């Protein structure tokens, strides 16, 4: 079962975020009291740089293998924050990811390959978990104005398995990410060159038997460099999450912890029993991802990232039907071929407003 996976997409990162509670900027004394109006809890427009060093920094970064600050190089200009990978494609000179990891039997970290660069607001909820309190009666929102583009995806080694490398989020993407590191509940936007996706998932956690899955709904066409106003809101009292893109509601989930009934956009099914979840807090971040084990239009994943048996089920059918992959061995040349991404972030804001 997927519970035996040694290191999943963010399980190793969750430990870092949970530990960060002792050094991150604490919640204010009135964090759990319901304010009478809209309240900005945290924001950054990068006018003072990208603060990510020290316990009082605005941001915290996850490591990626031997890269202590992840596979990203952040720079700041009058336009905001720009992040590109640490590597370069030797053929084109374009930004390219340098970090990857293999299957566990080869000493790798399996599905930790998903996370190339991840930055989250350095703030601790009243629970001691990294994030911001989701106060009953309030709606907690993570918002960002950003643009993203990908590089080198057309050079992928998978042939006809990839219908459109400019829109396929498995190959490379930028993201806005809202995560609860306690319950491993995730609400994201994924941004590729030609598509914007609302992304909802629950990640596996060692020792737990709840349903783990990933769902990616295409919600808008776009072009490289186009800026979007993206907002993800969580209403703890109502038990709902809402995704808004450029002022338009594009997805609402009201049974958190359950797989969406529409399996056509389920891209990963890791088994487990569906059960409701109600995060007490959520973190807000920005990221660059590669999801090579996810399913595409040809009903196969590209690369089996973990070698743990029973880790993957067919997203269309569910357990016990096992998922099939183009590459069952997670060959290095199929994980990195010169693909990369770029994030251009104008601002990130966390707010809380009365519901209703």
Distance CA 145, CA 214 (A): 24
Report helix, strand or coil for 134. Answer: coil
Q: Identify whether the C-beta of residue 163 lies closer than 8 Å to the C-beta of residue 296.
A: yes
Question: Of 126, 119, 32, whose CA–CA distance to 352 is shortest?
Answer: 32
Q: Exposed (0-12), middle (13-18) or buried (19+): which is 256, by Cβ within 10 Å?
A: buried
Q: What pLDDT score was predicted for residue 226?
A: 98
Q: How many residues in total does the chain contain?
A: 356
Q: For residue 288, which phi and psi values (nearest 5 degrees)? A: -130, 130
Q: Who contacts 309 (Cβ-Cβ below 8 Å, separation ≥6)? A: none
Cα torsion for 25, 180, 76, 112, to the nearest 10°? 120
Report helix, strand or coil for 145. Answer: strand
Q: Give me 39's structure tokens.
A: 């309240």
Question: Of 241, 216, 236, 242, whose CA–CA distance to 279 is shortest?
Answer: 236
Q: What pLDDT score was predicted for residue 36?
A: 46
Q: Which helix (H) or strand (E) holds 334?
A: helix 332-335
Beta strands at 123-124 and 25-26: parallel, antiparallel or unpaired: parallel
Q: What pLDDT score was predicted for residue 52?
A: 97
Question: Of 152, 154, 150, whose CA–CA distance to 165 is shortest?
Answer: 154
> Is 2-26+38-354 in CATH node 2.60.120?
yes
> pLDDT averaged over consecutive 10-residue blocks of the chain (356 residues)?
39 47 45 55 98 95 98 98 98 98 97 99 98 98 99 98 98 99 99 99 95 99 98 99 99 98 96 98 99 96 94 96 98 99 99 94
Q: What pLDDT score was predicted for residue 26?
A: 52
Cα–Cα–Cα angle for 144, 150, 153, rounded to 5 degrees: 150
Q: Give me 124's structure tokens.
A: 């601790």
Q: What pLDDT score was predicted for residue 310?
A: 82
């Amino acid at each position: 079962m997927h519970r035996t996976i040694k290191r999943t997409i963010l399980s190793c990162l969750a430990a870092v975020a949970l530990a960060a509670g002792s050094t991150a900027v604490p919640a204010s004394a009135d964090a759990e009291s319901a304010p009478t109006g809209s309240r900005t809890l945290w924001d950054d427009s990068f006018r003072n740089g990208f603060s990510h060093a020290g316990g009082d920094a605005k941001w915290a970064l996850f490591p990626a293998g031997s890269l202590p600050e992840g596979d990203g190089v952040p720079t700041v200009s009058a336009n905001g924050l720009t992040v590109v990978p640490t590597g370069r494609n030797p053929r084109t000179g374009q930004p390219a990811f340098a970090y990857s990891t293999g299957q566990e039997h080869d000493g790798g970290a399996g599905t930790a390959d998903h996370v190339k660069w991840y930055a989250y607001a350095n703030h601790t909820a009243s629970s001691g978990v990294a994030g911001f309190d989701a106060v009953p009666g309030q709606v907690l929102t993570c918002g960002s104005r950003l643009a993203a583009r990908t590089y080198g995806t057309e050079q992928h080694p998978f042939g006809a398995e990839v219908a459109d490398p400019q829109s396929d989020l498995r190959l490379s993407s930028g993201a806005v990410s809202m995560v609860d590191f306690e319950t491993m509940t995730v609400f994201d936007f994924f941004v590729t060159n030609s598509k914007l996706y609302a992304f909802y998932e629950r990640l596996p956690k060692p020792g737990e038997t709840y349903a783990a899955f990933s769902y990616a709904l295409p919600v808008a066409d776009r072009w490289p460099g186009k800026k979007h106003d993206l907002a993800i809101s969580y209403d703890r009292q109502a038990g709902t999450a809402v995704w808004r893109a450029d002022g338009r509601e594009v997805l609402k989930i009201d049974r958190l912890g359950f797989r969406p009934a529409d399996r056509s956009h389920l891209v990963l099914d890791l088994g487990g029993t569906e059960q409701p979840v109600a995060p007490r807090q959520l973190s807000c971040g920005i990221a660059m991802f590669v999801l090579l084990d996810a399913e595409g239009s040809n009903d196969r994943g590209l690369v089996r990232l973990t070698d743990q048996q029973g880790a993957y089920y067919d997203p269309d059918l569910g357990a016990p039907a096992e998922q099939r992959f183009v590459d069952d061995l997670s060959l290095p040349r199929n994980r990195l071929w010169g693909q990369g991404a770029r994030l251009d972030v104008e601002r990130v804001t966390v707010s809380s407003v009365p519901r209703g």
